[in-house]
């Protein structure tokens, strides 16, 4: 299969992007002339859908609010060989798309992430940059180092990635979930530096640095609990056991010296904490077995999709 024969779909989730969506559609039409461009409107209160349709995009809608819901719908509905996911705010560089697709095909990858390189100071706010670094560091220490920009909204996927990926997030945590899924199954991925521009005049960010940062961090903790349950519950068990020992030490000393247990409630509390610690570790062991089974099912779903190969010609 040659590049010209590939079915390429550009997926553009949009919420109130009237000022930018026409530029996004036009830029990707020039960069990928053979691609089909899908704009999914997520309850916009402006003319986003009408402007996208006038620009030549295939316009569909998703009524459940949140980027995660939109991505779930796009991945389920759209049929293609290669998928380009990009935000509708005209901040990402459309001419980089062919290079990202070539990298995906040449190296037999499942995901290529656009590593954002600021072109102007206002493109990437300091709070978002700092939060991205912190979250990327946390992800690297937890699941392994593979990405420098886990929150990039510019990605290229293989069909087998898209059709096997179980979208669980509702909002902007979707980027984190995509990264964790790739790391969890040890899928072949890469990052390519791409220019990152400021929003055009009249377009406004819907992100809140603190709110969305905490939501993404919460998602990562949930994913850590579900994908690394033994580690998660063992840490909790160790903390509970330490608290139990600290409470028990003076009671044991008093018992050795006098043969009495004068602080019975504290002794009961210490014993209860130790029991909870043992239960926590036991839960981790059980859930780790369940997680391994789930991971095997995800891998089987991934392998059930045919791989994408580029012909030498």
The pLDDT tens digits of the residues spanning 213-241 come to 677 677 777 778 887 899 999 999 999 99
Q: How far is CA 6 from CA 80, 101, 133, 310, 311, in A?
A: 8, 10, 35, 9, 11
pLDDT given at position 8? 95
User: How many Å apart are CA 252 and CA 231, to the nearest integer?
Assistant: 30
Sequence-ordered strand ranges (E) for the chain: 8-14, 36-41, 58-61, 82-85, 111-118, 155-158, 189-196
User: How many Å apart are CA 169 and CA 72, to the nearest integer?
Assistant: 9
User: How many Å apart are CA 71 and CA 43, to the nearest integer?
Assistant: 14
Q: Which of 36-45, 76-85, 259-268 has the lowest mean pLDDT?
A: 259-268
The 10s digit of each residue's pLDDT in 70-123 is 999 999 999 999 999 999 988 999 999 999 999 999 999 999 999 988 755 544
């Amino acid at each position: 299969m040659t590049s010209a024969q590939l079915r390429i779909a550009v997926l553009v989730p949009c919420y109130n992007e009237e000022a930018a969506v026409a530029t996004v559609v036009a830029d990707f039409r020039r960069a990928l002339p053979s691609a089909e461009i899908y704009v999914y409107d997520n309850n916009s209160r402006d003319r986003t859908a009408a402007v996208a349709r006038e620009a030549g995009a295939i316009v569909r809608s998703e009524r459940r609010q949140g980027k995660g819901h939109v991505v779930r719908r796009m991945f389920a509905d759209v049929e293609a060989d290669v998928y380009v996911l990009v935000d509708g705010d005209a901040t990402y560089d459309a001419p980089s798309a062919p290079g990202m697709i070539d990298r995906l095909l040449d190296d037999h990858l499942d995901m290529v992430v656009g590593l954002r390189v600021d072109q102007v100071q206002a493109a990437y706010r300091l709070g978002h940059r700092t939060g991205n670094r912190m979250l990327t560091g946390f992800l690297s220490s937890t699941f392994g180092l593979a990405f420098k920009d886990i929150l990039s909204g510019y990605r290229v996927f293989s069909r087998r990635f898209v059709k096997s990926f179980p979208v669980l997030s509702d909002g902007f945590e979707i980027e984190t979930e995509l990264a964790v899924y790739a790391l969890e199954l040890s899928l072949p991925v890469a990052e390519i530096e791409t220019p990152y521009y400021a929003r055009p005049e009249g377009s406004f960010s819907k992100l809140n640095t603190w709110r969305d940062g905490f939501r993404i961090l919460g998602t990562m903790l949930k994913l850590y609990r579900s994908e690394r349950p033994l580690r998660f519950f063992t840490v909790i068990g160790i903390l509970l056991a330490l608290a139990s020992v600290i409470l028990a030490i003076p009671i044991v000393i008093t018992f050795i010296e006098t043969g009495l247990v004068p602080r019975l409630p504290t002794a009961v509390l210490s014993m209860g904490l130790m029991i909870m610690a043992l239960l926590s570790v036991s839960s981790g062991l059980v859930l780790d077995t369940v997680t391994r089974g789930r991971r095997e099912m995800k891998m089987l779903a991934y392998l059930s999709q045919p791989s994408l190969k580029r012909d030498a010609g």
